[in-house]
Chain A
Amino acid sequence: MKPRPFDYVRPDTVEEAIALLAEYGDDARILAGGQSLVPMLNLRLIETRVLIDISRVAELDVIGDRGNLIEVGAAVTQNKLMAWPQLKQKLPLVAAALPFVGHFQTRNKGTVCGSVAHADPSSELPLVLAVLGGEVVLRSQQRGTRVLAAEAFQQDMLTTARAADELITAVRFPVIEGKGVAFNEVARRHGDFAIVAIAAVADARGAAQLGVGGLSGRPVVRAIDGDAAAAVAAWAEELEGYEDLHASAALRRDLVKNLAPDVIAEAIEKCAA
């Protein structure tokens, strides 16, 4: 179980990284934390001619406070964001979701942007980014900087709008104020990929943005106002869900029906507090 051969390049700057992407395009892959990519390389599930290691690009290892947006650079690890002193205050939903992302040891290396780039359908950080209405910042030599809404970025299971020559330089989480948040998920074991993941942002009036991962190819978001149980049940049926080794589509739907109203209620309660 050893990777196929590849060239290795370790740029020091974003300029160098996007120059490499312009040169290699689809033949290259970005290595940041490697917690999803390296297993796939070891298993020979993917092939790449060039691996571009951005983990030492200092300008990407930055958490930037832009007022109403928090920008997390592509080399920032999940544990670094978790340890950011203002996280709970500015990004409480991210703070609630991060402990569910893998394990301490994988969060030490795995990056926030890497999770978003990998685009697993039940992954926590893409879900949170979607619920918060966040953005993904992409850069390439040809197009310069592109900023995509989370919804436009993640298109389907493991599929995103990133062009072959683009580098995700950062993701931006909106700072929300005066609202309550809650997060929950069901996984077979602690730290596993979720069967379903549920995130909610609610206002004082009781209106909520509800996000669900694990019912379709990408996280989905809907405004819920009023009878949460009925609205969630109808929505879950509409989304159908999908089947894999650990869950039937019906189980996924029922998990969302059972848990999402509680997550919404918790978010409303936190808003009041």
Chain B
Amino acid sequence: MRRVSKDQKTRIALTLNGRKLAAEAEPRMLLSDFLRHGLGLTGTHVGCEHGVCGCCTVLIDGVAQRSCLTLAVQAEGREVRTVESLAGADGKLNALQQAFRNNHALQCGFCTPGILMSFTDFLARNPHPSEAEIREVLSGHLCRCTGYAGIVAAIKEASSPKQVGIMYLTSTQSDRREPFSA
């Protein structure tokens, strides 16, 4: 049983984008704040802190979820992935990122990291979704700039049959994703 008292800063160790690391946080620290200001990865954005806008979405053990509705201490020992993990070390965009660029699927780019992470999870479960399924998953995100059309086009491109074999995320031992079910 893990116990942390409210004033106690505790060491929280996790795997972030494949690297094991740790930092201190008190129990009420939100994972979004911990990632951004504790661990220095600012690609995960904060837009509402009540779970509606979706821009803080990250993967925990492969599962897309709101990091603003997750405590840092809840991610202890887990494998967390953020948008910084998507491109190659040389900066080369992956297929999903490239599809966003090809389809003018972002303007200000603030909501984009969350959307990328949602679909990194979703497309791994369901690599060739229907447009209705894409829209259903995308409806968990708010974008104010694009009117969404470019985003839908990008995800369709990234999940088209010619993209077979491109996995957006290799599964890991701690993968807790459920198979997709419509």
Binds B, one of A7-15, A122-130, A239-247: A7-15
Query: Is B181 a contact partner of A1 (Cβ separation < 8 A)?
Result: no
When chains A and B are docked, how far (Å) is the Cα of A205 from the Cα of B154? 49
Query: Is B69 a contact partner of A34 (Cβ separation < 8 A)?
Result: yes
Given A80-B178, A109-B63, decide whether A103 and B139 contact each other with a Cβ distance below 8 A. Answer: yes
Residue among A4, A12, A53, A55 with the most chain B CB within 10 A?
Answer: A53
With A5-B26, A7-B5, A9-B3 given, can you name 16 additional A-B contacts, CB distance below 8 Å? A1-B50, A3-B28, A3-B30, A6-B27, A7-B27, A8-B27, A8-B71, A8-B73, A10-B73, A12-B1, A34-B70, A42-B68, A83-B179, A103-B140, A104-B136, A105-B64
Q: Is B2 an interface residue (CB 8 A)?
A: yes
Query: Is A51 a contact partner of B178 (Cβ separation < 8 A)?
Result: no
When chains A and B are docked, how far (Å) is the Cα of A162 from the Cα of B51? 26
B28 CB contact (under 8 Å) in A4, A34, A82: A4
Q: Is A155 an interface residue (CB 8 A)?
A: no
Given A16-B1, A105-B57, A105-B64, decide whether A99 and B136 contact each other with a Cβ distance below 8 A. Answer: yes
Given A6-B27, A42-B50, decide whether A109 and B66 contact each other with a Cβ distance below 8 A. Answer: yes
Q: Digitize A1-41: 1 where CB-to-B-CB distance is under 8 Å, 0 elsewhere.
A: 11111111111100010000000000000010011001101
Cβ of B178: which chain A residues have Cβ within 8 Å of it?
A: 77, 79-80, 82-83
When chains A and B are docked, how far (Å) is the Cα of A51 from the Cα of B137? 30
Q: Which residues of A are at the interface with B, using a C-beta cutoff of 8 A?
A: 1-12, 16, 31, 34-35, 38-39, 41-43, 51, 53, 55, 77, 79-80, 82-84, 87, 99, 102-106, 108-109, 189-191
**Interface residue ranges of B121-172 to A (CB < 8 Å):** 121-122, 136-137, 139-141
Cβ of B139: which chain A residues have Cβ within 8 Å of it?
A: 103, 189-191
A2 CB contact (under 8 Å) in B5, B30, B180: B30
Query: Is A7 a contact partner of B6 (Cβ separation < 8 A)?
Result: yes
Q: Is B113 an interface residue (CB 8 A)?
A: no
Query: Is B2 a contact partner of A105 (Cβ separation < 8 A)?
Result: no
When chains A and B are docked, how far (Å) is the Cα of A43 from the Cα of B69? 11
When chains A and B are docked, how far (Å) is the Cα of A78 from the Cα of B136? 15
Q: Is B97 an interface residue (CB 8 A)?
A: no
In whole Å, how far is B159's beta carbon from the nearest beta carbon of chain A? 15
When chains A and B are docked, how far (Å) is the Cα of A34 from the Cα of B3? 18
B69 CB contact (under 8 Å) in A9, A10, A109: A109
Question: Interface size of B by Cβ–Cβ distance < 8 Å?
Answer: 39
Cβ of A2: which chain B residues have Cβ within 8 Å of it?
A: 28, 30, 33
B125 nearest in chain A by CB position = A83
Q: Is B4 an interface residue (CB 8 A)?
A: yes
Q: Digitize B48-70: 1 where CB-to-A-CB distance is under 8 Å, 0 elsewhere.
A: 01110010010000011110111
B137 CB contact (under 8 Å) in A9, A35, A104: A104
Query: Is B6 a contact partner of A83 (Cβ separation < 8 A)?
Result: no
Given A9-B3, A12-B1, A55-B74, decide whether A104 and B68 contact each other with a Cβ distance below 8 A. Answer: no
Residue among B5, B49, B51, B178 with the most chain A CB within 10 A?
Answer: B51
B65 CB contact (under 8 Å) in A84, A109, A190: A109
Query: Is A39 a contact partner of B51 (Cβ separation < 8 A)?
Result: yes
Q: Digitize B72-105: 1 where CB-to-A-CB distance is under 8 Å, 0 elsewhere.
A: 0110000000000000000000000000000000
Q: Is B112 an interface residue (CB 8 A)?
A: no
When chains A and B are docked, how far (Å) is the Cα of A36 from the Cα of B156? 32
Cβ of A190: which chain B residues have Cβ within 8 Å of it?
A: 136, 139
Q: Is B118 an interface residue (CB 8 A)?
A: yes
Query: Is B2 a contact partner of A10 (Cβ separation < 8 A)?
Result: yes
Residue among B6, B54, B137, B181 with the most chain A CB within 10 A?
Answer: B181
In whole Å, how far is A31's beta carbon from the nearest beta carbon of chain B? 8
Query: Is A39 a contact partner of B50 (Cβ separation < 8 A)?
Result: yes
When chains A and B are docked, how far (Å) is the Cα of A9 from the Cα of B118? 29
Cβ of A41: which chain B residues have Cβ within 8 Å of it?
A: 28
Query: Is B70 a contact partner of A5 (Cβ separation < 8 A)?
Result: no
